[in-house]
């Protein structure tokens, strides 16, 4: 078994099982345990998510009541279904490590699929879907994301369609589990003080004996999720909305792999969309916006997406785009000021000190899974707590030019009672905001 001599490791546990490991000085450990089998593996949309709901409905060893009791006494658990994975998470003191791992393993691998419990969960999932679809109608972000990618990554895709949810049966869940909840797909992400050899020993003693090795295993598909739609401007009509929601996304090639320090995203996020940014302050003082959503960054298959959104009246849209363009031009030409950089540097120090250690640990453990699944490796710098200390103003300003370059693709979405004459064309919008 090959173990890299670094504080952060990818360890091959044998037969395809993988350990992602990072050290910490805390006396607690963050555990993510699951399988690389998520919504993209569904035969019927929503199967992976439905099976995740069944994890807490009893095992061969524990009833629902036992699980609720052990969640209080042993480990508080959360479960997630993603596009590529289904995982359990827990943060617990190292004194309860054995009990925590046994509890997580039992729920994940020995869950019973009871048809009566399935009907209860079906109602819960349908209610969840309806709430999400209601949000979808008034959430410009969902529309913007589906505008960029051929493959939809929003919650309706993970939850499934109503038709599929109603048709999913016990056999569907058992077949999905048999195909995807196998040793070859198993992944364990840990942030802990324990030596990696001890983690491997715990895996061998507690988890591995319960894993199923599939002799007929088919390797997971490799999905092409590159932005494949041409850049566009879309107006989604909704006459019931008094305010117009607008989201603008920029897709560029320079992703995590090419970025010297991933905390650069945090500085640019605050610079563009923060409550104290000159852009937000100016728009607010001019009375042009109801709200300005924070700037966000997402990473898909080595493609980065920078998005920001705002709410306003239809007649204010063009003026807002003009103001944003003026501010972006100043940022493109002059970059972040030394004064803003130093102020945000102190703010990052405060945030890192104030964030609960359990939150940081879970964030890192989940981040390792996302990086491993989406990138195929772990980026060099993963110490998020201290990473901001290594950032320079020159790095931020170089990356800022990359984001605001006219070479990038632009996707603009308007949601509300908007007329064509209220907005600039895509070409006009791009010429005002990118350089």
**pLDDT for position 222:** 57
**pLDDT for position 302:** 58
> Which residue, of 210, 245, 275, is where some domain finishes?
210
**pLDDT for position 375:** 63
Task: Tell which residue, 238, 240, 309, has the closest CA to residue 279.
Answer: 309
Q: What is the pTM of this model?
A: 0.79
* Separation of alpha carbons 416 and 262, rounded Å: 35
**pLDDT for position 251:** 87
Tens digit of pLDDT for each residue in 40-87? 888 898 999 999 999 999 998 999 889 888 888 887 788 989 878 899
SS3 316: helix
Does 378 have pLDDT greater than 90?
Answer: no
- Based on C-alpha coordinates, what's the Rg of the chain? 23
Average pLDDT over residues 27-51: 89
Asked if residue 1 is part of any domain, the answer here is no
Give the best-scoring range by mean pLDDT among 194-203, 266-275, 360-369.
194-203
Say yes or no: 253 and 298 in one domain: yes
Say yes or no: 242 and 195 in one domain: no
Tens digit of pLDDT for each residue in 165-183? 999 999 999 999 999 999 9
> What share of the chain has pLDDT > 70, as a percent?
84
> Which residue, of 158, 176, 210, is where some domain finishes?
210
The answer to whether 214 and 184 have CB atoms below 8 angstroms apart is yes
Please give the backbone phi and psi of residue 186, each rounded to the nearest 5 degrees, phi first.
-70, 140
Say yes or no: 59 and 190 in one domain: yes
**pLDDT for position 36:** 86
Q: How confident is the model at residue 280 (pLDDT cuts 50, 70, 90)?
A: confident
Please give the backbone phi and psi of residue 180, each rounded to the nearest 5 degrees, phi first.
-110, -30
Say yes or no: 315 and 426 in one domain: yes
The answer to whether 388 and 381 have CB atoms below 8 angstroms apart is no
Asked if residue 221 is part of any domain, the answer here is no
Tens digit of pLDDT for each residue in 385-431? 566 677 889 988 988 998 999 999 999 999 999 999 999 999 999 99
Average pLDDT over residues 302-330: 91
Asked if residue 227 is part of any domain, the answer here is no
Asked if residue 420 is part of any domain, the answer here is yes
Asked if residue 222 is part of any domain, the answer here is no
126 or 269, which is more confident: 126
Say yes or no: 168 and 200 in one domain: yes
Q: How confident is the model at residue 259 (pLDDT cuts 50, 70, 90)?
A: low
For 66, 144, 401, the CA distances from 409, given in Å and listed in that order, are 52, 13, 14
The contacts of residue 179 (CB under 8 Å, 6+ apart) are 37, 41, 214, 218
**pLDDT for position 354:** 46
- How many domains, in total, are found in the chain? 2
Say yes or no: 54 and 96 in one domain: yes
Does 35 have pLDDT greater than 60?
Answer: yes
Q: How confident is the model at residue 223 (pLDDT cuts 50, 70, 90)?
A: low
Length of the chain: 435
Does 205 have pLDDT greater than 90?
Answer: yes
Task: Tell which residue, 17, 20, 41, 43, has the closest CA to residue 31.
Answer: 20
Say yes or no: 369 and 410 in one domain: yes
Does 27 have pLDDT greater than 50?
Answer: yes
Asked if residue 219 is part of any domain, the answer here is no
Asked if residue 218 is part of any domain, the answer here is no
Torsion-angle region of 90 (φ positive above 0: left; ψ -120 to 50: alpha; else: beta): beta
Domain that holds residue 423: 232-433
Say yes or no: 308 and 350 in one domain: yes
Say yes or no: 246 and 104 in one domain: no
Say yes or no: 21 and 57 in one domain: yes
> Which residue, of 158, 178, 210, is where some domain finishes?
210
* Separation of alpha carbons 392 and 372, rounded Å: 27
Asked if residue 206 is part of any domain, the answer here is yes
Say yes or no: 28 and 155 in one domain: yes
Task: Tell which residue, 308, 299, 310, 271, has the closest CA to residue 401.
Answer: 271
Say yes or no: 158 and 277 in one domain: no
Q: What's the CATH number where 187 sits?
A: 3.30.830.10
What integer best gives the mean pLDDT of the chain?
A: 84
Q: Are strands 17-23 and 186-192 parallel, antiparallel or unpaired?
A: parallel
């Amino acid at each position: 078994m090959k173990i890299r001599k670094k504080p952060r490791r990818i360890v091959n546990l044998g037969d395809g099982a993988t350990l992602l490991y990072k050290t910490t000085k805390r006396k607690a450990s963050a555990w993510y345990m699951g399988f690389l089998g998520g919504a993209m593996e569904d035969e019927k949309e929503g199967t992976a998510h439905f099976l995740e709901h069944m994890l807490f409905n009893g095992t061969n060893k524990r009833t629902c009541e036992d699980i609720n009791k052990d969640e209080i006494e042993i480990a508080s658990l959360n479960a997630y279904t993603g596009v590529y994975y289904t995982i359990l998470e827990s943060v617990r003191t190292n004194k309860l490590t054995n009990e925590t791992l046994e509890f997580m393993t039992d729920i994940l691998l020995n869950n019973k699929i009871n048809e009566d419990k399935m009907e209860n969960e079906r109602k819960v999932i349908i209610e969840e879907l309806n709430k999400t679809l209601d949000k979808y109608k008034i959430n410009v972000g969902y529309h913007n994301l589906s505008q960029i990618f051929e493959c939809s990554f929003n919650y309706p895709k993970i939850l499934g369609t109503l038709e599929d949810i109603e048709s999913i049966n016990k056999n569907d869940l058992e077949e999905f589990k048999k195909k995807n909840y196998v040793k070859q797909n198993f992944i364990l992400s840990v942030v802990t003080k324990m030596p990696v050899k001890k983690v491997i020993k715990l895996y061998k003693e507690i988890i591995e004996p319960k894993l199923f090795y599939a002799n007929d295993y088919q390797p997971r598909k490799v999905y092409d999720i590159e932005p494949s739609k041409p850049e566009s401007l879309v107006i989604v009509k909704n006459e019931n909305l008094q305010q117009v929601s607008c989201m603008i996304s920029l897709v560029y090639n320079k992703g995590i792999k090419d970025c010297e320090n991933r905390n650069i995203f945090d500085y640019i996020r605050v610079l563009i969309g923060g409550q104290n940014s000159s852009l937000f302050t100016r728009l607010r003082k001019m009375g042009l916006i109801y709200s300005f959503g924070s700037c966000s960054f997402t990473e898909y298959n080595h493609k980065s997406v920078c998005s920001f959104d705002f709410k306003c009246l239809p007649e204010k849209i063009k003026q807002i785009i003009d103001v944003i363009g003026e501010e972006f031009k100043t940022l493109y030409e002059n970059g972040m000021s030394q004064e803003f950089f130093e102020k945000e540097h102190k703010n990052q120090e405060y945030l890192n000190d104030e964030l609960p250690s359990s939150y940081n640990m879970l964030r890192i453990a989940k981040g390792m899974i996302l990086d491993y699944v989406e990138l195929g490796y772990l980026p060099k710098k993963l110490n998020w707590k201290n990473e901001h200390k290594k950032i320079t103003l020159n790095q931020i300003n170089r990356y800022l030019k990359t984001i605001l370059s006219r070479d990038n693709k632009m996707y603009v979405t308007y949601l509300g009672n908007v007329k064509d004459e209220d907005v600039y064309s895509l070409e006009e919008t791009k010429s005002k905001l990118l350089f």
